Amino acid sequence: MFESIAIVGATGAVGSLIRQMLEDRDFPYEKITFLASERSAGSTITFKGEKHKVELLCPEAFDEIDLAIGSTPDPVAAEFCPWAVERDCVVVDESGFWRMDPNVPLVVPEINPEAAFNHQGIIASPNCSTTQMVLAMKPLHDVGRIRRVVVSTYQATSGAGVQGQEDLVAGSRAFLENKPYQYKIFAHPIAFNLIPQIGSPKHAGYTSEEMKMVYETRKIFGDDTIQVCPTCVRVPVENCHSESILVETEKKITAAQARELFAATPGIKVIDDLAAGAYPMPKECSGDDAVFIGRIREDLSCENGLAFWCVSDNLRKGAATNAVQIAELLVRSQAAV
């Protein structure tokens, strides 16, 4: 057990979920500290029925902390993680800053838990769109070895933070009332619209969000030969990312076999009855830690191709849940020593 733990970015949307999960999952600790920037430091939050003052994120804040779970923007993570490591604090980091660092393991506990134990003080949690995709890929890769993935994402506004949510609600209201609205986060209206760009232009016409899915997938599986062709789209949905995924495997996997593999995989729930209109939808999947899969079918254009639909709560398994699961891995490894 880690005697003293900290939540960095404790007042944010993901930080609030991490607090809730630590409470719900009875995460073991002796002392807990909540850290945030100057804007939120000094405020009060309630945890396990007790009031806690949010402390300022600074180097000295980690002097007696054994484990920190951080959900902050990249520039903040770039600064605070070294502060923590210098003080012998292990960090599970949600930001994108450390994910592709060769000295930092990138972990999804259901896929590569052993990687977490090779850390040098920092363990990274993947991008939300990557996390649900690789968890869905895992049972297929184990049986048939995936060679190629074509994925289109339909990403909720919650992935852009609280302001993204406000843009959707206020922008939709303004649209329906035929009033102007100045969007704060999105470069184009998101109300009743789709935006086929998430992130900045990065490589050969792909965006930074899309290239994350390429590089992170290969790192998690430890296989640089996996080919990934992603298209990431922001949609007017409040929460839960959806993905249309097509995989090509070395060994053919039928739809029936895939359905059985998915159903037997921890962390995956199958909803797949087209005739009955049963398949995963964001409205039904929000608030759940699972990755939901449906519309499982064989590719009509490729002999070893398999297509399916995947939905997951991007704030939970895509962010908070995965980070807490990594921290639980570390706790279990301590208990086993």
Among residues 89, 128, 232, 310, the one annotated as catalytic is 128
The token pair that represents 53 in the structure block: 């003052």
Residues 6+ apart with CB under 8 A from 288: 269, 313, 316
- Comparing CA positions, the residue from 147, 282, 133, 153 lying closest to residue 210 is 153
Indicate the burial class of 326 (C-beta count within 10 angstroms; 0-12, 13-18, 19 or more): buried
Q: Has 58 been annotated as catalytic? A: no
Q: How many helices (H) and strands (E) does the chain have?
A: 8, 16
Q: Has 141 been annotated as catalytic? A: no
Among residues 89, 119, 241, 285, the one annotated as catalytic is 241
- Comparing CA positions, the residue from 79, 119, 117, 75 lying closest to residue 96 is 75
b/e map 243-272, b = 16+ CB within 10 Å: bebbbbbeeebebebbbebbeebebbbbbb
Type of residue found at 133: M
Q: Which residues carry out catalysis? A: 128, 241
